[in-house]
Amino acid sequence: MEETAKIIFEGKEYSFPVVRGSEGELAIDIAKLRAQTGLVTLDDGFVNTGSTMSAITFLDGERGILRYRGYDIAELAENSTFLEVAYLLIYGELPSAAVFDNFKKTITRHTLIHEDLKRLYDGFPKDAHPMATLGSMINTLSGYYIRDTSDPLDPVGRELSIHRLLAKTPTIVAFSYKKSIGHPMMYPKNSLNYIANFIRMMFAVPAENYAVDPVIERALDLLLILHADHEQNCSTSTVRLVGSSRANVFAAISSGVNALWGPLHGGANQAVIEMLDEIHKEGGGVKKFVALAKDKNSNFRLMGFGHRVYKNFDPRAKIIKKACMDVLDKLGIKDPLLDIAMQLEDAALKDDYFVERKLYPNVDFYSGLIYRALGIPTEMFTVMFALGRMPGWIAQWKEMIENPSAKIGRPRQIYNGHTARPFIPIAKR
């Protein structure tokens, strides 16, 4: 029997279908609400609004569960690689060895960026934020590949664009780093795997032998897996919304990059290190900062704490905290900011303010400490998040565009401005 939910308005009862997800999640389908009742829903920040059905990522914030295509994040982090996870997210299944081999070859074939596109870097100042560069570069790719992207409904062009995006993003990111330090750009070396190739493009210099440190490679692989998708967050919803107008995939995903940049979203990983640095400079005491975060007259928040969906430990944060200890230990690094982070976590988790509001460390709290240990500069942390999130954005865009009943995204509003008033000529105002 079809489940329904009833809404009573002005004494009249209306029934709406209840949709049940494969994990038992429940939603009221209100597509006909306005037509039947004249009402729309109002949900600032989309706190309770499901924008789509999706088979990609399952997240249960109360129980601290995160799964990609049904596979637990901890299992993937332990046993898989970023590129394999990218395949899983985009195509829905783990690849066989032969299929994966083919996929790797395809991605490798597209790692170069057009030489003319390289000149775009010259238009940026040396200290441009790498998120500005990344967003612009990805958007500009549509200028180079417009024939293959202008119709997102064409499956051949779609496939090619997906491969190009995955393949070129590490090159674009590494080139922007080289530009920022004034070093020559390192071209991709396609005999290396996806992660090792990226590390080499970031840190090698021409005419020197460079061997990728396996500890760094594994740590980065893990971090990118943990960032690969997170269902309908701010940047992913942006990708879907822009893509819903059938703008090309590069335009849609560069919008996602820009949405990720903000400190309440992916920009938090940079903000965490800046906050820990400030605490360190002030002598290392965390009390003042915990008090400041609780003070409603200050705009200060504990960066790397709290999450819209997780009201229990962020499962990614647990894995990252352990990885952070391991990596620092293996690389023989003693970072005073790690001690401060642990003191801050401890103080917050014992504080009623944070306990009552269920504010736990999120994915960004310890990730920056690992990036730092790997030699990645602070302003590049959010770009690393974007590199990791690329398969998720692609998968979500693909799912949306391949859905024949997908509509252009177009929310309603409740207008609360002036009602109609007559125009007053300027001389009489």
Query: Could you list the active site residues?
Result: 307, 364
**387: phi then psi, degrees, rounded to nearest 5:** -60, -45
240 or 265: whose CB is closer to ligand CMC? 265
**Alpha helix locations (H) across 61-110?**
73-79, 82-91, 97-109
217 or 364: whose CB is closer to ligand CMC? 364
Provide, rounded to whole angstroms, the least separation between the CB of residue 34 and ligand CMC.
Answer: 26
Side-chain-side CA neighbours of 342 within 13 Å: the count stands at: 9
11 or 45: whose CB is closer to ligand CMC? 45
Give the chain's radius of gyration (CA, Å): 23
189 or 318: whose CB is closer to ligand CMC? 318
- Cβ-based neighbours of 112, under 8 Å, separated by 6 or more: 168, 171, 187, 188
Torsion of CA 255, 256, 261, 266, to 10 degrees: 180
Provide, rounded to whole angstroms, the least separation between the CB of residue 385 and ligand CMC.
Answer: 8
Provide, rounded to whole angstroms, the least separation between the CB of residue 302 and ligand CMC.
Answer: 4
Write out the residues near ligand CMC by the rule CB under 6 A. 45, 230, 233, 264-266, 268, 293, 301-308, 357, 359, 362-364
Provide, rounded to whole angstroms, the least separation between the CB of residue 192 and ligand CMC.
Answer: 29
**148: phi then psi, degrees, rounded to nearest 5:** -85, -10
First to last CA, the chain: 64
Q: Tally Cβ neighbours within 10 Å of residue 398.
A: 23
Query: Residue 250 in contact with residue 158, Cβ under 8 Å?
Result: no
Q: Tally Cβ neighbours within 10 Å of residue 271.
A: 20
Name the residue number minimizing CB distance to ligand CMC: 306
186 or 228: whose CB is closer to ligand CMC? 228
Provide, rounded to whole angstroms, the least separation between the CB of residue 208 and ligand CMC.
Answer: 36
